[in-house]
Amino acid sequence: MTKPTVFVPHTIPDKALHRLHATCEVIYRDLRSEPTQTELADGLRGAKGMVCYGKISVRESLLEAAPQLEVVSNIAVGFDNFDLAAMQAHWVSGTNTPGVLTETTADLAFALLMAAARRIPEADAYVKSGQWQKWVPDLMVGSDVYGKTIGIVGMGRIGEAVARRALGFGMTIVYHNRRRQPNAELALGAVYRASLEELLGESDFVVLLTPLTKHTFHLIGEDELCRMKRNAWIINVARGAVLDESALMKALDGGWIAGAGLDVYEEEPLPANHPLLSRPNVVMLPHIGSATVATRENMALTAVDNIIAYFSGRRPPNLVNPDVWERRFGQSAERMKE
Ligand code: DGY
């Protein structure tokens, strides 16, 4: 049987690549740079699958250039790079990697919150640059974390994992989500706020964890930042565009909030002259929420397993648009394998 051709447009962990080679013909571009549109179109010629991450946008133009493409597997839990309507029209399935990065990303979210509140990067730079002369009571004073109120916007898997950490810090947990999450309420004592405004007004730390959709684009703008307490922090580990960065600049300039911890940005990588770069009260990371050796490997393996399942006639475990798969294979493919 001929193996299906799968295009991998950038470097992935070896273990995942080997697993993919066992069942697929792999066109591998072992590069860390972003592929150009031409490289993408070339690599996709004849490919039935693609395993990718980062900025690759699966939109109409790409799908038109890849008529044989059937499945795209993201090495990420987020899939805002998928144009689901276009994929539906071209009968292209999409998969992601939920679950495997939950705890790692929650660790990072909490680390970022702590780093911002306790000025860790600033203090580190201060010591290393030889400025530390004397212990004084107001040296690098920051905000307390324990016992404060954390407002989680987006109570999915990662939100719950952040809430578990917050519990250990004796924090009051409030959350806003499209749907109520009884598990977070019962197991973690998280209190639901139907109104985002209410959550913003009472939280000392607002942590953004919602996926980027047309509904959450600029969910936090000027009005929302204005409602936050003047000594509160905003932490974004979701997607850059959930937080309106120009509004954030205004809020920082106007002293509406204490500061921010950011792992994600409206434009990534950040342009060299970005105004946020000069802010001492903004801790900035290069989109490393899930960046541990083990988790990145597990994400790649999960993505590859999704593709392998697809081409062996099994329903991929992490379909983000199951309708497309159902339409192409119906229930019969499932039953044949049983
Ligand atoms: C994710 O998994 O969505 C991470 O943000 C990497 O893109």
Asked whether 290 lines ligand 1 (CB < 6 A), one says yes
- Among protein residues, the one whose CA lies closest to atom 4 of ligand 1: 76
Select which of 180, 267, 268, 327 is catalytic.
268
Predicted pLDDT of residue 338: 39
Distance, CA 331 to ligand 1 centroid (Å)?
A: 31
Tokens standing for residue 328: 């192409």
Which residues pair with residue 176 across a beta bridge? Answer: 153
Which residues pair with residue 191 across a beta bridge? Answer: 174
Predicted pLDDT of residue 333: 52
Distance, CA 135 to ligand 1 centroid (Å)?
A: 41
Distance, CA 290 to ligand 1 centroid (Å)?
A: 7
Distance, CA 158 to ligand 1 centroid (Å)?
A: 12
Q: Is 287 a catalytic residue?
A: yes
Predicted pLDDT of residue 140: 97
Q: Are strands 149-153 and 93-95 parallel, antiparallel or unpaired?
A: unpaired
Tokens standing for residue 9: 């447009």
Q: Which atom of ligand 1 is found nearest the CA of 97?
A: 2
- Which one of 55, 77, 302, 318 would you pick to mutate in the ligand 1 pocket, going by the greatest count of ligand atoms within 8 A of its CB? 77
Asked whether 109 lines ligand 1 (CB < 6 A), one says no
Fold match between domain 5-100+293-336 and domain 102-284 = yes
Cα–Cα distance measured from residue 5 to residue 214, given in angstroms and rounded to the nearest whole number: 33
Asked whether 156 lines ligand 1 (CB < 6 A), one says no
Asked whether 101 lines ligand 1 (CB < 6 A), one says yes
Q: With H, G, I as helix, E, B as strand and everything else as coil, classify residue 311.
A: helix
Asked whether 76 lines ligand 1 (CB < 6 A), one says yes
Asked whether 77 lines ligand 1 (CB < 6 A), one says yes
Domain definitions of the chain by residue range: 5-100+293-336, 102-284
Asked whether 4 lines ligand 1 (CB < 6 A), one says no
User: Which single residue is written with the structure tokens 């083990």?
Assistant: 294
Q: Residue type for 109, please?
A: A
Q: Say how many residues make up the chain.
A: 338
Distance, CA 83 to ligand 1 centroid (Å)?
A: 16
Select which of 90, 239, 245, 296 is catalytic.
239
Closest CA to 181 of 170, 169, 172, 193: 193
Mean pLDDT, each 10-residue run in order, the chain (338 residues) = 94 97 96 90 95 94 96 98 98 98 98 98 98 97 98 98 98 98 97 98 99 97 98 98 98 98 97 95 98 98 98 97 95 49
Asked whether 49 lines ligand 1 (CB < 6 A), one says no
The answer to whether the CB of 73 falls within 8 A of the CB of 303 is yes
Residue 330 falls in which region: left (phi positive, over 0), alpha (psi -120 to 50) or beta: left
Annotation: CATH topology of 5-100+293-336: Rossmann fold (3.40.50)
- Among protein residues, the one whose CA lies closest to atom 6 of ligand 1: 76
Select which of 218, 279, 287, 315 is catalytic.
287
- Among protein residues, the one whose CA lies closest to atom 1 of ligand 1: 76
Distance, CA 78 to ligand 1 centroid (Å)?
A: 5
CATH of span 102-284? 3.40.50.720
CA angle (106 as vertex; 167, 168 as ends), nearest 5: 15
Predicted pLDDT of residue 332: 54
Asked whether 199 lines ligand 1 (CB < 6 A), one says no
